[in-house]
C-alpha cells in the first residue's frame, strides 16, 4: 500500500507529474480559445481536411433527433462505420459497427445488437450524455479503419493506435496502445491496455507495460513486442507534427491509426494528454520538454525540419 518512491528520484529522472503538466505546460502553452479545435471532433475533422491532415472519412453527421434514421441509409452503403459524439472525451460513447447481416449489427467485440440499440446510442449522444458538462452534442459518423496487417496479433478486440506527444510542433514521445481482454477492447492504459514505448528516431518498440509493469508478450495473443516496428514512421511523424499548425496548441497529444490503404490517419487530438506515455517509454518527458523550450521559436521551423530535428535529438 505505502510503496512510495522518493520525489527527488523522480525529478532526477525527469518524470513529469500531473500538477506540473497542468500548470507548467497545459496552462501555460495551450490557449483556452483553441480548445474547441480539438474538443469538438467535427471541428477537428474540418480543420484537418483544410490543412491537408489525413483523417478517416466523414460519412455523415446527425444533429437532430429526426435525422437519426439517416444512419441506416449510410449503413446500407458502407456496411460498417463508427459513431462518435463530437464533444466526447476519453474515448467515451464510441460505437463501432463492423458489419451488417441478417443477425443485426455486429459491434467490434463480435456481439450483435438490434437496430434500437443503435438508435438509442445516437439519442444519448444528442442529449449530451457523453459530452463534458452534459451539453447537447452531435453524432459524427466515420468510415471504419482497415487494420494494417503490421499489427496482426497485437491488439485484442480493438484498434491499435499510436499516441504522439507534440510540443511546440516537435514530435517528442510516442507509444503504441494495444487493447487487451482486460481493457475490454479499449486503448486506455489505466483500464489495462498495453502501452508500447516507441523510439521517435526509428519507430521501433522499446519496451511494453501493462498496469504500469513491464511485460514482453501480449497477454491475450502471446505475441512478442520485441520486434514491433511501425511502418511508414516518417509519414506518421510528419502527420503528427502537422497537427501543431492545424490546432495551434503547443502541448498536444495526437492519436494516429494506421490504415491498410490510406496509411496513417489522425483519429483524435487531445489538449490534455495523459502521463502514462512516460511509463510506456520508461523515461520522463521533462528533459525533452526543457530541450524544446530552450530552442528559438521566433521563426517556426518547417514540418520537415522539426521531424528531422526530433529524429536526431530524441533517439534512445
Partner 1 sequence: MTSRTPFLIIVFALIVAGISSIYYRHVEMGVPLTAGEQIDIWQIEAEIEFTGKNEPVNAKLTLPKDPKFELVDEFTASPAYGVHVFREEDKSEVVWSKRQVQGKQTLYYQASYKHTLNPVKEPAPADEVVAELWSEPYQSSAQTLLNSAIEKSGNQQFLVLQILNVIKSDDQNVALLLSKYSKTEIFVQLMQMAKIPAMMVRGLVLEDSRRNQQLIPLLKVYINNDWQMFDVENGELGDELPILVWQQDSPSLLDVVGGRNSKILFSISHSTQSALQEANSSATEGDFFDFGLYHLPIDEQNLFKGILLLPIGALVVVFLRVLIGLKCSGTFMPILIATSFIQTELVNGVVGFLLIVSIGLIIRSYLSHLNLLLVSRISAVVIVVIGIIVLFTVIAFRMGLTEALTITFFPMIIMAWTIERMSILWEEEGGKEVLIQGGGSLIVAVIAYLMMDNYLIRHWAFNFLGVHALIMAAILLMGQYTGYRLLELRRFKPLAED
Q: Which residues bind partner 1 (CB under 8 A)?
A: 3-7, 9-11, 13, 15, 17-20, 23-24, 28, 92-93, 120, 123-124, 127-129, 134, 184, 191, 209, 212-214, 278-279, 282-284
Nearest CA among 42, 41, 107 for reference residue 80: 107
214 or 287: CB nearest partner 1 = 214
92 or 290: CB nearest partner 1 = 92
Shortest distance, position 284 Cβ to partner 1, whole Å: 7
Cell of 12: 532526477
212 or 234: CB nearest partner 1 = 212
Shortest distance, position 11 Cβ to partner 1, whole Å: 8
Which runs of E-coded beta strand occur in the chain? 58-62, 81-85, 95-101, 104-107, 112-113, 139-142, 161-167, 170-178, 194-198, 205-210, 213-215, 251-259, 263-270
| CA distances for 30 relative to 183, 220, 300, angstroms | 30, 38, 17
Shortest distance, position 260 Cβ to partner 1, whole Å: 29
67 or 184: CB nearest partner 1 = 184
CA distance 131 to 85: 7
209 or 246: CB nearest partner 1 = 209
Instruction: Enumerate helices (H) and strands (E) in the chain, giving the number of each.
Output: 11, 13
Shortest distance, position 101 Cβ to partner 1, whole Å: 25
Residues 6+ apart with CB under 8 A from 11: none
Shortest distance, position 119 Cβ to partner 1, whole Å: 8
Q: Are 106 and 166 in contact (CB under 8 A)?
A: no
120 or 297: CB nearest partner 1 = 120
Shortest distance, position 161 Cβ to partner 1, whole Å: 18
CA distance 230 to 234: 10
Amino acid at each position: 500500500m505505502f510503496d512510495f518512491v522518493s520525489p527527488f528520484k523522480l525529478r532526477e529522472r525527469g518524470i513529469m507529474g500531473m500538477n506540473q503538466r497542468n500548470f507548467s505546460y497545459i496552462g501555460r502553452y495551450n490557449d483556452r480559445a483553441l480548445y474547441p479545435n480539438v474538443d469538438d471532433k467535427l471541428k477537428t475533422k474540418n480543420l484537418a481536411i483544410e490543412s491537408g491532415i489525413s483523417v478517416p472519412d466523414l460519412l455523415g453527421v446527425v444533429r437532430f433527433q429526426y435525422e437519426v434514421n439517416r444512419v441506416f441509409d449510410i449503413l446500407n452503403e458502407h456496411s460498417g462505420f463508427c459513431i462518435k459524439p463530437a464533444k466526447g472525451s476519453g474515448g467515451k460513447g464510441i460505437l463501432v459497427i463492423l458489419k451488417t447481416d441478417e443477425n443485426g449489427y455486429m459491434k467490434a467485440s463480435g456481439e450483435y445488437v438490434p437496430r434500437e440499440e443503435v438508435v438509442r446510442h445516437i439519442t444519448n449522444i444528442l442529449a449530451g450524455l457523453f459530452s463534458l458538462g452534459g451539453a447537447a452534442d452531435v453524432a459524427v459518423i466515420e468510415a471504419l479503419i482497415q487494420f494494417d496487417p503490421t499489427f496482426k496479433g497485437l491488439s485484442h478486440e480493438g484498434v491499435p493506435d499510436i499516441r504522439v506527444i507534440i510540443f511546440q510542433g516537435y514530435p517528442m514521445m510516442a507509444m503504441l496502445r494495444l487493447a487487451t481482454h482486460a481493457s475490454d477492447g479499449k486503448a486506455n492504459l489505466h483500464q489495462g491496455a498495453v502501452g508500447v514505448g516507441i523510439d521517435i528516431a526509428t519507430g521501433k518498440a522499446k519496451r511494453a507495460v501493462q498496469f504500469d509493469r513491464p511485460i514482453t508478450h501480449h497477454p491475450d495473443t502471446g505475441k512478442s513486442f520485441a520486434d514491433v516496428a511501425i511502418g511508414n514512421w516518417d509519414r506518421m511523424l510528419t502527420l503528427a507534427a502537422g497537427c501543431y499548425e492545424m490546432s495551434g496548441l503547443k502541448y498536444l497529444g495526437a492519436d494516429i491509426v494506421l490504415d491498410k490503404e490510406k496509411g496513417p490517419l489522425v483519429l483524435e487530438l487531445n489538449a490534455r494528454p495523459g502521463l502514462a506515455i512516460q511509463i510506456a517509454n520508461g523515461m520522463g518527458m521533462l528533459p525533452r520538454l526543457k530541450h524544446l523550450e530552450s530552442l528559438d521559436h521566433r521563426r517556426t521551423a518547417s514540418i520537415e525540419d522539426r521531424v528531422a530535428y526530433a529524429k536526431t535529438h530524441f533517439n534512445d
